[in-house]
Amino acid sequence: MKTTTDAPRLLTWRCEYTDTFNGEANYAWARTATVELPTHATDRAIVRAGKAALGLTGVRCRTDHLGGCEGFELRPYGSSTVAFITLGEKG
């Protein structure tokens, strides 16, 4: 039997997808979402969930770490857009 202490801890990830101007995020329009994943989720799982939440499933992107556990920057190939997946508050 599971108790409340046995429940898996979840982390909330904020996802943003927007246009760019001169290579920088412009925010003339933006698509946002949040996803909750277990604390032990791999980088690949985090990126896949973020892309799915933003409607970018199947879109090839250049992916960069934002440093440590901060998040990811995704730049879809052939598009003047950028997506950010950043760590939110613990759930």
Task: Report the number of distinct structural domains present in the chain.
Answer: 1
Note whether residue 2 is domain-resident.
no
With 0-12 / 13-18 / 19 or more C-beta atoms within 10 angstroms meaning exposed / middle / buried, residue 4 is exposed
pLDDT value for 66? 86
Q: Give the tens place of pLDDT for each residue, 54-83.
A: 999 999 999 999 887 789 999 999 999 999
Note whether residue 45 is domain-resident.
yes
Note whether residue 3 is domain-resident.
no
Note whether residue 52 is domain-resident.
yes
- The whole-model pTM stands at 0.86
Note whether residue 1 is domain-resident.
no
61-65 and 24-38 as β-strands: parallel, antiparallel, unpaired? unpaired
Do 66 and 72 form a contact (C-beta atoms < 8 A)?
Answer: yes
Note whether residue 29 is domain-resident.
yes
Give the domain extent around 57. Answer: 9-90
Do 91 and 11 form a contact (C-beta atoms < 8 A)?
Answer: yes
Whole-angstrom distance, CA of residue 88 vs CA of residue 24: 22
